Chain A
Amino acid sequence: MFGYGWLVLIAPLLGFLSLSCLGKRIPRSIAGYLGCATVGFAFFISLILLVHLSVLEPEERVGGAQALYTWIDSGQFHLDFAILIDPLSVFMFLIVTGVGFLIHVYSLGYMEHDPEFKRFFAYLNLFIFSMCVLVSAADFFFLIVGWALVGLASYLLIGFWRDKPSAVLAARKAFVMNVIGDVGMLVAAFMIFETFGSLSYQKVFEMAPTMFLANDMNMILITLFLLVGAFAKSAQLPLHTWLPDAMEGPTPVSALIHAATMVTAGVYLVARCHTLFELAPFTMYVIATVGIITATFAGTIAMVQTDIKRVIAYSTMSQLGYMFLAVGLGMFSFGMFHLMTHAFFKALLFLGAGSVIHSLNEEQDIRKMGGLAKAMPVTYITFLIGSLALAGFPLTSGFFSKEAIIMGAYHSEMGNILFWGLAVFTAGMTAFYTFRLFFCVFQGDLRTPDAHPHESPVTMTGPLVILGFFALAAGVLGPWVDSFLSPVFGGHAEHYQDGFLETIAVFVGLGGIMTAGLLYMVRSDKIEPIKEALAPIQEILFHKYYVDEIYDFLIVKPVKAISVFLEDMGEKKGVDFAVDQVGEQVREVSKYVSLWQSGRIRDYAVNMVAGMALVLIFVAFL
């Protein structure tokens, strides 16, 4: 039915292969355009798929898995390389290739002076390909393949500036954390195959409701292991530490991978496997709880960070927490809706931050910025839109998606006042830290006297404007997202109306913005006393609750100690010693054996004749 669906995958793959393998035969001048073109083409195909799906009857939209070829055929195990074209995967295609395309264009300007321009575009294309594999997989096998591939692309891109030690360390950390998740996914896949005898979504999702009752131990275990993967990829507690560090990569990477697309893979996974998760209400409860705790946790940290990208990174974690809260409460389409609006406004904020960093010569400390509104009008306005959307200002896209989740936190089946309270509290914090960042960067006076801020080139401001438009207006797509995805989720998510709670949420958000304005615009002399009064809390938050230090103490240090011990006792005194001894003994014996090898031809002749005589005697008499 969707015979051309594979074009979405093949275009970025070809882009990656040609950029990385053809070397100098592709001149630098067209490498960037080639990278953009492949993603643009993939986006175009995704749009065609969208139109194609829209004209079908809702029941015909799901289950469009098509095998491209047989990958493994071994006994009872049969595995096709298949892609699944249904509303959910096309929805993800559109976000990945659409936002991805804009970020590719932005990178043309941002990476213009980088000597390894081409490698950058090759990696970006690889990422788009991997992400498309992830979302179009029709079975758990290729889900894991895509899962690992995006991990690889993320690793390569975080460590893109490979002569910067902090970037390389951050890349390694991200990779290790993600591999923990991959192992969880693998275990889940093994258990699924053991239980259902198949890895294909269609079969598993058909069989699961007939085989298990709700909260069956099997289902809980499978979904919990899937969650390990989802939490690691989406930087939820306790596997979140890699995401802030991942900001060492170039800013377009942060926008593409660590805000808009890859980190939302965990939310996608829960939505895709909703049949399994719905059979395990316990796991759903875990998702919602971890989601809201992460949202609050990251929100508090974001309030005191001073690095522009880290503030946005923590807000990403926080917003991902909202998405998990939504899917955990069974409101899958709200989770996907927030995923979409978040992709727009968070990519916008990151790209805006990149534009600021670019014009201030790689300065990332917000305490040294300020007053950029005049020098960079386009960045200023688009950043304002992004901030409003993130803060959930009424009528921006973020308002609609977040409000739906916050309402559900109280009114949905599993919702309660605690979820709601934390969600509103976090919304207030979000508004505060977003506008703290905004005011610090764009208002007041520039605090670095020798800098000469300037507006970015049109390749950078263009994507900002387009994303700004969507960040502002995408809220109207809410009902469409819900109805478009409803065939996949088997029903609509209920949109709860509650004027009273809604008003509270709106006012908390506005209050956050006003507090930030009051503190950082009007009475900036009050900041220091407040800081001093809250010094102990500030200290804890600035050190991110010391989670890195705790992990270092609990895991890294003991592992290192064991490794040193094993290296000494096991390696040097055990294995090495044994191997050396074998060599030593052989040499000893050889000393005597080699006496036979006199080098004199006549000795050899005698030995040969004697040997032949022995053989003859043996044959003749025995």
Chain B
Amino acid sequence: MGQEFILLVSATVFCIGAFGFMVRKNPLIMFMSVELMLNSVNFLLIGYSNILKSLDGQIFALMIMAVAAAEVVVGLALILTIFRTRHDLNVDHLDSLKG
């Protein structure tokens, strides 16, 4: 498993995530896309941790996963509340912050 492979996979997954976040209108799918981006970075960290024979990367990855989990909890709660009040989950309709 060479360096290029790790970089390539990570970049691909990140781009999929970013693209998904930009084009999808369902907040749940957008959330998953965000997770893809986060995990692409985790993948990179762990891959390099293996190459450099250092545990630092893995520790970072663990931290990121913990933070992401916490963030998901908040995010899902928000999405649920929005759905309950508006009965509509199309993010394009959530534009009350328009300036």
| Chain A minimum-CB-distance residue to B20 | A605
Complex interface bits, A531-552 against B, C-beta within 8 A gives 1, otherwise 0: 0000000000000000000000
Q: List 27 A-B contacts (CB under 8 A).
A: A594-B99, A595-B99, A596-B99, A597-B97, A597-B98, A597-B99, A598-B98, A599-B94, A599-B95, A599-B97, A599-B98, A599-B99, A600-B91, A600-B92, A600-B94, A600-B95, A600-B98, A601-B30, A601-B94, A602-B23, A602-B25, A602-B91, A605-B21, A605-B22, A606-B22, A609-B18, A609-B22
| Chain A minimum-CB-distance residue to B23 | A602
Q: Does B85 contact A (CB under 8 A)?
A: no
| Chain A minimum-CB-distance residue to B19 | A609
CB interface residues, B 44-99, toward A, < 8 Å = 91-92, 94-99
Complex interface bits, B20-46 against A, C-beta within 8 A gives 1, otherwise 0: 011101000010000000000000000
Smallest distance from the beta carbon of A613 to chain B beta carbons, Å? 9
The reply to whether B95 and A598 contact each other, CB–CB distance below 8 Å, is: yes
The reply to whether B97 and A602 contact each other, CB–CB distance below 8 Å, is: no
Smallest distance from the beta carbon of B98 to chain A beta carbons, Å? 3
| Chain A minimum-CB-distance residue to B21 | A605
In terms of DSSP, what is the predominant structure of the interface of chain A? helix
User: Which residues of A does B touch, CB under 8 Å?
Assistant: 594-602, 605-606, 609
Smallest distance from the beta carbon of A364 to chain B beta carbons, Å? 68
Specify which chain B residues have a CB less than 8 angstroms from the CB of A594 in the assembled complex.
Answer: 99
CB interface residues, B 3-25, toward A, < 8 Å = 18, 21-23, 25
A598 vs B92: C-alpha distance when bound (angstroms) = 10
Smallest distance from the beta carbon of B71 to chain A beta carbons, Å? 16
Smallest distance from the beta carbon of B97 to chain A beta carbons, Å? 5
A426 vs B18: C-alpha distance when bound (angstroms) = 100
Specify which chain A residues have a CB less than 8 angstroms from the CB of B18 in the assembled complex.
Answer: 609
Specify which chain A residues have a CB less than 8 angstroms from the CB of B99 in the assembled complex.
Answer: 594-597, 599
A601 vs B94: C-alpha distance when bound (angstroms) = 8
Given contacts A597-B99, A598-B95, 10 further A-B contacts (CB under 8 A): A594-B99, A599-B97, A600-B92, A600-B95, A600-B98, A601-B94, A602-B22, A602-B23, A602-B92, A606-B22
Specify which chain B residues have a CB less than 8 angstroms from the CB of A597 in the assembled complex.
Answer: 97-99
Specify which chain B residues have a CB less than 8 angstroms from the CB of A598 in the assembled complex.
Answer: 95, 98
Specify which chain A residues have a CB less than 8 angstroms from the CB of B23 in the assembled complex.
Answer: 602
The reply to whether B91 and A601 contact each other, CB–CB distance below 8 Å, is: yes
Contact of A599 among B21, B25, B30, B96 (CB under 8 A): B96
Which 5 interchain pairs have the tightest Cβ spacing?
A: A599-B98, A599-B95, A597-B99, A594-B99, A599-B97
Specify which chain B residues have a CB less than 8 angstroms from the CB of A605 in the assembled complex.
Answer: 21-22
Specify which chain B residues have a CB less than 8 angstroms from the CB of A596 in the assembled complex.
Answer: 99
A595 vs B95: C-alpha distance when bound (angstroms) = 13
Smallest distance from the beta carbon of A609 to chain B beta carbons, Å? 5
A619 vs B98: C-alpha distance when bound (angstroms) = 32
Most buried by A among B18, B25, B98, B99: B99
A163 vs B21: C-alpha distance when bound (angstroms) = 70
Smallest distance from the beta carbon of B89 to chain A beta carbons, Å? 12
Smallest distance from the beta carbon of B20 to chain A beta carbons, Å? 10
A597 vs B25: C-alpha distance when bound (angstroms) = 18
| Chain B minimum-CB-distance residue to A593 | B99
Smallest distance from the beta carbon of B14 to chain A beta carbons, Å? 10
A601 vs B79: C-alpha distance when bound (angstroms) = 14
A317 vs B30: C-alpha distance when bound (angstroms) = 88
Specify which chain B residues have a CB less than 8 angstroms from the CB of A602 in the assembled complex.
Answer: 22-23, 25, 91-92
Specify which chain A residues have a CB less than 8 angstroms from the CB of B94 in the assembled complex.
Answer: 599-601
Specify which chain B residues have a CB less than 8 angstroms from the CB of A599 in the assembled complex.
Answer: 94-99
A600 vs B92: C-alpha distance when bound (angstroms) = 6
A598 vs B99: C-alpha distance when bound (angstroms) = 7
Specify which chain A residues have a CB less than 8 angstroms from the CB of B91 in the assembled complex.
Answer: 600-602
| Chain B minimum-CB-distance residue to A602 | B22
Smallest distance from the beta carbon of B31 to chain A beta carbons, Å? 12
A576 vs B96: C-alpha distance when bound (angstroms) = 34
Smallest distance from the beta carbon of A602 to chain B beta carbons, Å? 6
Specify which chain A residues have a CB less than 8 angstroms from the CB of B96 in the assembled complex.
Answer: 599
A599 vs B23: C-alpha distance when bound (angstroms) = 16
Smallest distance from the beta carbon of A273 to chain B beta carbons, Å? 68
Specify which chain B residues have a CB less than 8 angstroms from the CB of A606 in the assembled complex.
Answer: 22
Specify which chain A residues have a CB less than 8 angstroms from the CB of B25 in the assembled complex.
Answer: 602
A599 vs B98: C-alpha distance when bound (angstroms) = 4
Smallest distance from the beta carbon of B90 to chain A beta carbons, Å? 10
A597 vs B30: C-alpha distance when bound (angstroms) = 20
A602 vs B95: C-alpha distance when bound (angstroms) = 10
Smallest distance from the beta carbon of B1 to chain A beta carbons, Å? 25
A196 vs B18: C-alpha distance when bound (angstroms) = 76
Specify which chain A residues have a CB less than 8 angstroms from the CB of B22 in the assembled complex.
Answer: 602, 605-606, 609
| Chain B minimum-CB-distance residue to A595 | B99
Specify which chain B residues have a CB less than 8 angstroms from the CB of A600 in the assembled complex.
Answer: 91-92, 94-95, 98
| Chain A minimum-CB-distance residue to B98 | A599
A602 vs B25: C-alpha distance when bound (angstroms) = 8
A600 vs B24: C-alpha distance when bound (angstroms) = 12
A596 vs B98: C-alpha distance when bound (angstroms) = 9
A597 vs B97: C-alpha distance when bound (angstroms) = 8
Specify which chain B residues have a CB less than 8 angstroms from the CB of A601 in the assembled complex.
Answer: 30, 91, 94
Specify which chain A residues have a CB less than 8 angstroms from the CB of B21 in the assembled complex.
Answer: 605, 609
Smallest distance from the beta carbon of B74 to chain A beta carbons, Å? 16
Smallest distance from the beta carbon of B91 to chain A beta carbons, Å? 5
A48 vs B32: C-alpha distance when bound (angstroms) = 89
Most buried by B among A596, A598, A600: A600
